[in-house]
């Protein structure tokens, strides 16, 4: 059947990755990143440098280019990864979302920008709750298309209440805008009458974050297998690595296939990809470098200019996974060992940044880190420092996941401590873009060592400086440590790889 002329499409979303072990996410965290209602969503999505992640701008631009449509902004709430969302605020978002959607009825279609790894202080499947509420409002025949981060933890309720499931295919997430554009194309097809079948298979594998890169490795191969099997019956193949630190019953590596009306095709392909993943299970174990070895590598790079410079990833304190971005283990070790020619970023410490701004440039003082932080692992530490640079923190991302995104990091300071320069920020963010150093006047190309508080997204931003062989992932304590046996799990399905021995699996009957 022909698609409706000038279709009314609701645009909404709720996107946050939640680490159960981190402090709760509040309304203020969303307000600091992106919280929009109504027409403000469309206005922001169409700006050259929006504050929101690229899926929604990609969707809106593709819809604008395709044909006349009537977009209806509902609610879009996004936050940097954090702890569980305060349930009262989640209910506030759901109330606003359902109220605005009801008022906008009838609609011809719905686009939802999700993350997929949210939890609240009371609910382990908030996306499922939202999709169910949306379906109740729009009815069974209105197509609902959703995009997801590839770290989504997928439930049946999520899959059953939407018509198309579209997950990222790259990690670092460099295809966010493309997935939004894909959602627009898929929605156009659904508006023209295509009906879908979705099949999800979850494996008893909860992959550590460092095993989920898509340049190479078992996860990359699963994604590549799915893409190689695309055919007219298959609309989308999404392989979701999941996010261990949510600690929910729906955790686990999942394959979601959306087919054009052919459930057998979806089931067969999902089973083939899942079987391949299971055969690769021995490869989903992390391999990290000890702190002692990391220090020696940094010292060697500083001493010998013939060696290539190195990037050290503090993967255990990744703000992109709910880490606080302020543990001192690596910085303290580098300072005590006398490492020279190093850049370190970014440390989340608003009081320290504010103090540096009060003192002004070139002031020497005792920098007290984590004076107000009470989170486990974020221990206080003091060192003599000089204020090397100051900045208001307003910038536009240059490369990787933040490219073209307008960011507000709050008052920032570069502090020189021995042979190391540390960038301190006031709004918590992972160090995934060179702009965080460059806006402070720091030359990454001249550094012998660059330390980033990031798990993997820095690879998409710093690849012009560091190839894969120049990256050192350091084994440290922290809220996002890939060593999953260091956490106390309460809701994770067990037994699972890599936590347990003698894990078995057989393909389910679909």
Query: Is the backbone of residue 93 left (phi > 0), alpha (psi -120 to 50) or beta?
Result: alpha
Q: What is the pLDDT along the chain (510 residues), one digit of tens a residue?
A: 678 889 999 999 999 999 999 999 999 999 999 999 999 999 999 999 999 999 999 999 999 999 999 999 999 999 999 999 999 999 999 999 999 999 999 999 999 999 999 999 999 999 999 999 999 999 999 999 999 999 999 999 999 999 999 999 999 999 999 999 999 999 999 999 999 999 999 999 999 999 999 999 999 999 999 999 999 999 999 999 999 999 999 999 999 999 999 999 999 999 999 999 999 999 999 999 999 999 999 999 999 999 999 999 999 999 999 999 999 999 999 999 999 999 999 999 999 999 999 999 999 999 999 999 878 899 999 999 999 999 999 999 999 999 999 999 999 999 999 999 999 999 999 999 999 999 999 999 999 999 999 999 999 999 999 999 999 999 999 999 999 999 999 999 999 999 999 999 998 887
Secondary structure class of 120 (helix, strand, coil): strand
What is the CA angle 491-117-223, rounded to 5?
A: 110
Secondary structure class of 314 (helix, strand, coil): coil
CB 103 within 8 A of CB 170: no
pLDDT at position 1 is: 66
CA pair distance 1, 458, nearest whole angstrom: 46
pLDDT at position 375 is: 85
- pTM for this predicted structure: 0.95
pLDDT at position 374 is: 79
pLDDT at position 2 is: 76
Cis omega (within 30 of 0) for bond into 333: no
DSSP 172: S
| Tokens 């059947």 belong to residue | 1
Query: Is the backbone of residue 502 left (phi > 0), alpha (psi -120 to 50) or beta?
Result: left
Paired sense of beta strands 164-167 and 254-259, if any:
unpaired
């Amino acid at each position: 059947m022909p698609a409706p002329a000038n279709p009314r499409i609701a645009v909404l979303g709720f996107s946050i990755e939640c680490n159960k072990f981190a402090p709760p996410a509040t309304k203020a965290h969303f307000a600091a990143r992106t919280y929009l209602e109504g027409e403000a969503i469309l206005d922001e999505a169409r700006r050259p440098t929006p504050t929101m992640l690229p899926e929604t701008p990609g969707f809106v631009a593709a819809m604008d280019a395709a044909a006349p449509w009537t977009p209806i902004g509902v609610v879009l709430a996004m936050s940097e990864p954090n702890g569980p969302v305060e349930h009262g605020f989640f209910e506030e978002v759901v109330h606003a979302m359902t109220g605005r959607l009801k008022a906008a009825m009838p609609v011809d279609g719905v686009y939802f920008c999700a993350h997929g790894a949210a939890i609240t202080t009371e609910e382990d499947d908030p996306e499922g709750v939202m999709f169910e509420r949306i379906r109740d409002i729009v009815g069974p025949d209105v197509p609902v298309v959703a995009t997801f981060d590839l770290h989504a933890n997928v439930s049946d309720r999520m899959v059953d209440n939407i018509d198309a499931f579209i997950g990222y295919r790259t990690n670092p997430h460099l295809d966010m805008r493309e997935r939004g554009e894909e959602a627009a194309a898929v929605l156009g097809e659904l508006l023209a009458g295509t009906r879908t079948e979705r099949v999800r298979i979850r494996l008893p594998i909860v992959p550590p974050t460092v095993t989920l890169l898509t340049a190479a490795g078992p996860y990359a191969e699963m994604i590549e297998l799915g893409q190689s099997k695309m055919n007219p019956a298959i609309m989308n193949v999404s392989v979701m690595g999941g996010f261990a630190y949510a600690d929910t019953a729906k955790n686990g590596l999942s394959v979601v296939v959306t087919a054009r009306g052919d459930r057998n095709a979806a089931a067969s392909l999902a089973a083939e990809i899942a079987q391949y993943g299971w055969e690769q299970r021995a490869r989903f174990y992390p391999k990290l470098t000890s702190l002692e070895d990391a220090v020696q590598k940094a010292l060697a790079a500083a001493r010998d200019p013939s060696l290539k410079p190195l990037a050290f990833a503090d993967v255990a304190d990744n703000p992109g996974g709910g880490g606080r971005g302020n543990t001192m283990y690596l910085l303290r070790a580098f300072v005590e060992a006398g490492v020279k020619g190093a850049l370190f970023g970014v440390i989340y410490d608003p009081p320290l940044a504010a103090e540096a701004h009060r003192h002004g440039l070139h002031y020497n003082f005792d920098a007290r880190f984590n004076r107000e932080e009470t989170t486990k692992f974020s221990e206080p530490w003091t060192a003599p420092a000089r204020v090397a640079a100051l900045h208001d923190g307003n910038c536009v991302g240059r490369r990787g996941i933040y490219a073209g995104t307008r960011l507000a990091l709050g008052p920032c300071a570069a502090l020189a401590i021995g042979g190391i320069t540390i960038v301190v920020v006031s709004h918590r963010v992972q160090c995934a873009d060179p702009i965080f150093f460059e806006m402070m006047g720091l030359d990454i190309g001249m550094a012998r060592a660059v330390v980033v508080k990031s798990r993997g997204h820095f690879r998409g931003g710093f690849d012009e400086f560091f190839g894969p062989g120049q990256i050192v992932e350091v084994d440290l304590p922290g809220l996002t440590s890939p060593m999953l046996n260091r956490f106390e799990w309460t809701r994770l399905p067990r037994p699972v790889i890599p936590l347990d021995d003698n894990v078995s699996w057989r393909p389910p009957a679909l």
